[in-house]
Amino acid sequence: MRADAKKNYSQILTVAREAVTEHGADVSMRDIARRADVGLATLLRHFPTREGLFEALLCTNLDALTQKAAELEISNSSGEALVSWVRDWVVFAQSYRGVVAMMAAAHANPASALYASCAAVHSASARLLLRAQGEGAARADMNGDDLFALMTALGWAVDQPSFAPRADHLVRLMTSAILTDPPNNDVKKSKC
Amino acid sequence: MRADAKKNYSQILTVAREAVTEHGADVSMRDIARRADVGLATLLRHFPTREGLFEALLCTNLDALTQKAAELEISNSSGEALVSWVRDWVVFAQSYRGVVAMMAAAHANPASALYASCAAVHSASARLLLRAQGEGAARADMNGDDLFALMTALGWAVDQPSFAPRADHLVRLMTSAILTDPPNNDVKKSKC
DNA sequence: ACCTGAACACCGTTCAAGT
DNA sequence: ACCTGAACACCGTTCAAGT
């Protein structure tokens, strides 16, 4: 990689981070190129697809996420590990607006630059679920696909500005659907 | 409304239904105008916004949905009524691809042509939840906003092609998060 | 009243021409 | 090797000109 190419690459990533923070995952690629003082064609050769750009933008976050999964897999309580994992996922989902929708689409498209990352999240989820199910901490009647779908749905919801204020509570409600004995499910039934 | 205007209006709705069925809620307005053999400007005067067009496209579905809510409000079991309502919502959500995402955005924007419909769904949900909570059938620690968020998240999930196959199961999982004594929650704990 | 073509400012894709 | 401007086919918005 030539010196000027290297400089452009990092410059693009820097301004892309700003642009995506401001306008979400649907920012205009042209806008990013303009901010980076680079021709649009240059941006598109470094990152031929929008997903390619996001794979680079998110790689730190994704590494931290999968690293966390590895730690949780050998933690004490399999149930608490699963809840922590869902929380970490939600934090990741909030890194940039529109990221979850993009991941959901990439998950179904092996040609996407984000496919491998989606698969990693999916399989980490499946492993944590399986362990929790083995200990009876998680519902037995769901699989990794279900968990991934629920986590993605949750991530999408907290991404919506109107739902964001209730994000913490939505996480609690969602985890209570997954665990067999949810810690926050101590609802007092009315007498009638 | 003049005769030719009336003809254009219904012609637009007819072809819009086809186009949206094929390409989802993000179809090009130009494409719809072309199919209707109508100038783009004509389409945009009949329906100044995309949401305006969808308000017309969905009005039958939305009427059926709110009508169903009214019936469910006076039904026997408040818990079963809530589950039926969620199922009806999911069926509605599947009417066209991308509709739920549009409704979620419209819900936060009073200027949207779909805002009133969103509010109607929201308040119907809140009423059914409140009744179920009064009888102890639904969790006490959630409100109408939470239910609407969960329903929208569920609707969005089943809208994703990769999650659609598990739609029925996702509905069951989601309702089990809402009900205090879920009928499908008879999970046998493992012995260890 | 209602319709329409055209101009406008955007978008992402592609490629021949530059250094 | 790498960059770039320009042409291309799209999009939604707007409006003067038609009937």
pLDDT tens sequence across B10-49? 999 999 999 999 999 999 999 999 999 999 999 999 999 9
When the pLDDT of each residue in chain A is averaged and rounded to a whole number, the result is 94
Angle at CA of residue A184, ends A179 and A189, nearest 5°? 105
For residue range A141-150, list pLDDT tens digits in order: 999 999 999 9
* Confidence (pLDDT) at A182: 60
Per-residue model confidence (pLDDT) at position A184: 43
Please give the pLDDT value at position B183. 53
* CB-based contacts of B99-105 (< 8 A; 24+ apart in sequence): B99/B25, B99/B54, B99/B58, B99/B159, B100/B152, B100/B155, B100/B156, B100/B159, B101/A101, B101/B25, B101/B156, B101/B159, B102/B25, B102/B50, B102/B51, B102/B54, B103/B152, B103/B155, B104/A160, B104/A162, B104/A163, B104/B152, B104/B156, B105/A160
Asked if B40 CB < 7 A from strand C, the reply is yes
Residue nearest to nucleotide C12 (CA to C1'): A29
A129 interaction partners in chain B (CB closer than 8 Å)? none
DSSP lists the bridge partners of residue B38 as none
- Residue range A17-29, pLDDT digits in tens: 999 999 999 999 9
**pLDDT digits 0-9 by tens, A125-180:** 999 999 999 999 999 999 999 999 999 999 999 999 999 999 999 999 999 999 99
pLDDT band at A1 (very low <50, low <70, confident <90, very high): confident
Inter-CA distances, B108 with A61, A173, B102, B104, B133, Å: 29, 22, 10, 7, 26
Report CA(B32)–C1'(C8) in Å, whole number.
21
Strand C atom within 7 Å of A29 CB: yes
CA distances from residue A181 to A132, A133, B166 in whole angstroms, order as listed: 11, 12, 23
pLDDT at B70: 97
- What is the per-residue pLDDT across A66-120, written as a single tens digit (0 to 9) for each? 999 999 999 999 999 999 999 999 999 999 999 999 999 999 999 999 999 999 9
Report yes or no: B187 at the A interface, CB cutoff 8 Å.
Answer: yes
Mean pLDDT of B61-87: 97
B48-67 burial by CB neighbour count: b if 16+ within 10 A, else e?
A: eebbebbbbbbeebbeebee
* Per-residue confidence (pLDDT) for residue A106, from 0 to 100: 97
Could you tell me the domains of chain A?
1-48 (1.10.10.60), 49-178 (1.10.357.10)
Q: Say if CB B36 and CB B15 are below 8 A apart.
A: yes
Q: CA nearest B182: which of B137, B136, B152, B142?
A: B137
